Amino acid sequence: MSQLFRPVDPSVSFPELETGILEFWREHDIFRRSIEERPEDNLFVFYEGPPTANGRPGVHHIMPRVIKDLFARYKTMRGYRVPRKAGWDTHGLPVEIEVEKELGLNSKPEIEAYGIDRFNAKCRESVNRHVGDFEELTERIAFWADMENPYVTYDNDYIESGWWIFKQLWEHGLVYQDYRSTPHCPRCETSLSDHELSQGYQDDV
């Protein structure tokens, strides 16, 4: 009976083995080839729900990426051409709060006194702070995505596409105005998402 796999030395260094495989993929441009060697008329397009790179990546970034990668690889193995678009989420209250802390600002009037343009520029710097860490993690966990041409949510083209979609919904009569109660942060003077609200939840015992 023939062997399916080569025997592996029990004393093998797995980090070295991993490094060798990653280097092989880079040298032979395996990710790009996995896309381009499949027919253009058989597409399965993947856009990553983008992380925010103003903080270092953690375990909570690994699990979703592993699951996402399963679907993309499965479709690739089934013969689909699977472009995988990476992205960066550059909007959101956590970004603004982090910059407020760095600048020692505690209220909306203080932000306005500091200058909205200057504050926005600091937020842009913040969201790109750990892109390199995310790119390294992405490669190490073998999550294949086009990191060289990501979509970035603060790019004007991206923002314009969001407004265009909203305009289409409006023109088709799919937008309506109503009332709804939402969680509100008195300090930030803004509504909160359920996710943002749960981050501050504490059990009082």
Domain ranges, residue 18: 11-90+131-154
pLDDT of residue 74: 97
Tokens of 10: 């029990």
pLDDT of residue 200: 62
pLDDT (tens digit per residue) in 127-161: 888 888 999 999 999 999 999 999 999 999 999 99
**Both 59 and 149 in a single domain?**
yes
State which residues of the chain have pLDDT below 70: 1, 199-205
Provide the domain count of the chain: 2
CA of 56: how far to CAs of 60, 75, 85, 136, in Å?
11, 30, 21, 11
pLDDT of residue 25: 95
pLDDT of residue 197: 75
Query: Which residues, 6 or more positions from 192, have their beta carbon under 8 angstroms from its beta carbon?
Result: 93, 182, 183, 184, 185
Q: Is residue 39 part of a domain?
A: yes
pLDDT (tens digit per residue) in 17-39: 899 999 999 999 999 999 999 99
**Both 115 and 137 in a single domain?**
no
